[in-house]
Structure 1
Amino acid sequence: MSECRVGKAIAAVAGLARGAKPSRREARREAIMQAATQLFVEKGYGATSLNDVVRLSGGSLSTLYDMFGNKAGLFQAIVTHRCEMMTGLFDHPDVHSRPVGEALTEHGTRLLSVLVADDTVAAMRTVIAEALQFPELAQVFYESGPIQGRQRVAGYLAEQMRRGVLRTDDPVEAAADFCHLVIRDAQMNAIMGLPYPDTAAAITRQVGHAVEQFLRMYRADGAAQPAANLPGTAA
């Protein structure tokens, strides 16, 4: 069995994250989620028990139940946490005052870095393999991952439309367009073992191109053009 390098997605965005040192409870929660991710990948969702998770992560079963409720709740928390890693940019009060291209580039970099990280790809393979036996697994993943993520992007884009930076349009559709431009076939290729942007430079190029194309589609007429080329775009 190949090694599941748990934590690679977190490392991928560590340089972008802005936050306080986690509390002891938050650190315990993170340890449980990392252990569960590893076990879900190695053994499968159905074959993993909460006792397995506790043995790997340490702590107690009562703490796990208190934090997550049950195994489905633990899986949902893992997916939601990954989504928050990708969309945490939008929690900052100054996000709407930043140049839209700069903010979208940071979000796109977070998004693509997490989606092609080894542990995310391995978890996706698990979801695909067990979706028929555990349909709730796929439903939880879809609602707590892609849907939640696009809603966060749509909220940001709606405010930029209100400010006249982007042309008025359906922000939900615009968010879907942006995510598709960033991801393209990268995650599917990673899942299937085909070539994908697996270096920081490759991710920067793909995200830069996506942001450039998105702004061509949605920038409002008369809105200020960026003072410099976005990362990854041609001069």
Structure 2
Amino acid sequence: MKITANAAALEDPDCPEGAANDSPDSPCFGKAAGRPRAADKEARLQSLLHTAASLFLEKGYSKVSLEMIAREAHVAVRTIYVKFGGKAGLLSAVITNGRARFFAGMTDLQSDPRPFREVMDDFALRFLELVTVPAFVSLHRMVVAEARTTPELAETFYKAGPLRTREELMRFFSRDDIRAQLRPEIPVETLAVHLLSCLMGDTMVRMLFPVEQPPSVDELRARAQQGLDLFYRAVLR
């Protein structure tokens, strides 16, 4: 069945009818009307998330409007509402996307067949790499600075980042083979919180102050091992 230009616009609201005649700044420039390829849609999505992240970190969450993001990303404001439900949903997607990049290639904790300590070694290093990357540090500072005046910012950050990590760890510690290695009287939620506390140490405090450069991989690996040692001493049977 032939797809009309209007039907194509419904499939991809960023490329309305006549998009092939748009200016070179448009993401649809030179594209014929029709159903967008998956690769094109993913590329536009990543471009939008990158633009939103850059604006949030540069100007602050409360000072960035959807109109500003849409203009910089060359998309319609309606597209952001349809895909993310608004600014909070877009920020959640930005955090989720960045988090996924750091844990890419790591087997899901619930199905990882490796020995317990090996899984923890992998998780601990990736987690510390994530929370010390400059963009995350800037995001954390922004949340702290604006949490009181913009409650949705703190809530969105917590649900998309810290809470999700805690829940994934709780499911991992609930596995029969893992639970059998841990002290039974300690609730899985306490296990997750204690692990993250051991790994973070004073990292949250350090985030509030300027640093010349992020820690090296060797430094993070040493910090991860120290944190895991404290964790194991407290929770292993």
In which range does the TM-score fall when normalised by the shorter chain?
0.7 to 0.9
> What number of residue pairs does the alignment pair up?
198
1:172 corresponds to which letter in structure 2? Answer: E
Partner of 2:20: none
Partner of 2:55: 39
Partner of 2:92: 76
TM-score scaled by length of structure 1? 0.74
Larger RCO: 1 or 2 (CA < 8 Å, sep 6+): 1
Give the one of 161, 173, 195 matched to 1:157: 173
3-state secondary structure, aligned to 1:128: helix
Q: In 2, are the aligned partners of 1:54 and 1:60 still within 8 Å (CA)?
A: yes
Partner of 1:17: none
Partner of 2:27: none
- Gapped regions of structure 2 (runs ≥ 5): 1-37
> Cα RMSD over matched residues?
2.5
Distance 1:78 1:26 in 2: 14
2:236 maps to 1:219:
yes
Q: Give the drift of 1:136.
A: 1.5
Give the one of 151, 155, 162 matched to 1:135: 151
Once structures 1 and 2 are overlaid, which stretch shifts more, 131-140 or 59-68? 59-68
Q: Give the drift of 1:196.
A: 8.5
Partner of 1:226: none
3-state secondary structure, aligned to 2:61: coil
- Aligned runs of 1:160-199 on 2, under 5 Å? 164-168=180-184, 169-193=186-210, 198-199=215-216
| Cα separation, partners in 2 of 1:196 and 1:203, compared to 1, 3 Å | farther
Choose 1 or 2 for highest CA Rg: 2
Percent identity, please: 26
Q: In 2, are the aligned partners of 1:154 and 1:171 still within 8 Å (CA)?
A: yes
Q: Give the drift of 1:75.
A: 1.3
Q: Give the drift of 1:195.
A: 7.9
| Cα separation, partners in 2 of 1:86 and 1:147, compared to 1, 3 Å | farther
| Cα separation, partners in 2 of 1:195 and 1:100, compared to 1, 3 Å | farther
